[in-house]
C-alpha cells in the first residue's frame, strides 16, 4: 500500500528510537494530582518537603500520561498503522519526576508476532525507557502494541 503507513511487516526487531520532549510544569502536576492522585506530596510543597521526595513531585500516573502523549505524537509522526494496546508489563517508576523536568523516551522493539486468530493484526513488544533532562531514567515499562498487517 502506498499510504506511507508503517505496518507489521515493516517492523524490525531490535529497532531503537529516541523521541519526545515534555516539559513538566508545576501547575500541571498539581492539576493532575488534584483530580486523580490527591496525595500531599503531589499537592503541597511543605508536605512534600517532609517526604523522601524532598519537594513537590508528579504522580507516577501523571508520568504515564505524559509518556502516552509523547508515544502518540511519535506514532502520528511516523504514521504507524496502530490498533491500540492490550496492556503493558513491568511498569516501574524509578526516580521522582519534578516540575521543571523535561522528559524524553527511548524505545527498543523486542519482539513481534502475527495473530493466529485475527489475520489482519499482529502484536509487538517494546521496552520504553523515560529519561529526564539529566539523562536519568525515571520510568520504564514493557509496552504491548497491536498493529495492522499490510496484506492479511
- Residue found under cell 496525595: 39
Question: Judging by beta carbons within 10 Å of its beta carbon (0-12, 13-18, 19+), is residue 96 exposed, middle or buried?
Answer: buried
Residues 90-147 have pLDDT tens digits of: 999 999 999 999 999 999 999 999 999 999 999 999 999 999 999 999 999 999 999 9
- For the entire predicted model, the pTM comes to 0.91
Length of the chain: 152
pLDDT at 78 (0 to 100): 75
pLDDT score of 1 more than 70 = no
Number of folded domains in the chain?
A: 1
Q: Name 51's Cβ contacts closer than 8 Å, sequence gap at least 6.
A: 40, 41
Angle at 21 between CA 16 and CA 89, to 5 degrees: 50
Mean pLDDT of 5-24: 96
Domain region containing 100: 8-148
Helix runs in the chain, H state only: 26-36, 40-43, 45-49, 60-78
Does some domain include residue 1? Answer: no
Does some domain include residue 35? Answer: yes
Mean pLDDT of 45-69: 96
Does some domain include residue 132? Answer: yes
Mean pLDDT of the chain: 95
Q: Name 123's Cβ contacts closer than 8 Å, sequence gap at least 6.
A: 86, 112, 113, 115, 144, 145, 146, 147
CA distance 7 to 12: 11
Q: How confident is the model at residue 2 (pLDDT cuts 50, 70, 90)?
A: low
Does some domain include residue 2? Answer: no
DSSP state of 134: T
pLDDT score of 46 more than 60 = yes
Does some domain include residue 3? Answer: no
CATH code of the domain in which 81 resides: 3.10.129.10
Amino acid at each position: 500500500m502506498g499510504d506511507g503507513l508503517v505496518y507489521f511487516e515493516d517492523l524490525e526487531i531490535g529497532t531503537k528510537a529516541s523521541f519526545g520532549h515534555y516539559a513538566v510544569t508545576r501547575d500541571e502536576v498539581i492539576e493532575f494530582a488534584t483530580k486523580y492522585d490527591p496525595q500531599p506530596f503531589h499537592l503541597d510543597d511543605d508536605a512534600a518537603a517532609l517526604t523522601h521526595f524532598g519537594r513537590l513531585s508528579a504522580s507516577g500516573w501523571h508520568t504515564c500520561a505524559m509518556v502516552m502523549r509523547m508515544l502518540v505524537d511519535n506514532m502520528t509522526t511516523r504514521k504507524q498503522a496502530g490498533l491500540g494496546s492490550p496492556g503493558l508489563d513491568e511498569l516501574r517508576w524509578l526516580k521522582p519526576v519534578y516540575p521543571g523536568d523535561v522528559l524524553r523516551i527511548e524505545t527498543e522493539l523486542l519482539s513481534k508476532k502475527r495473530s493466529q486468530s485475527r489475520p489482519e493484526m499482529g502484536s509487538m513488544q517494546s521496552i520504553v525507557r523515560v529519561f529526564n533532562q539529566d539523562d536519568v531514567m525515571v520510568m520504564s515499562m514493557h509496552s504491548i502494541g497491536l498493529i495492522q498487517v499490510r496484506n492479511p
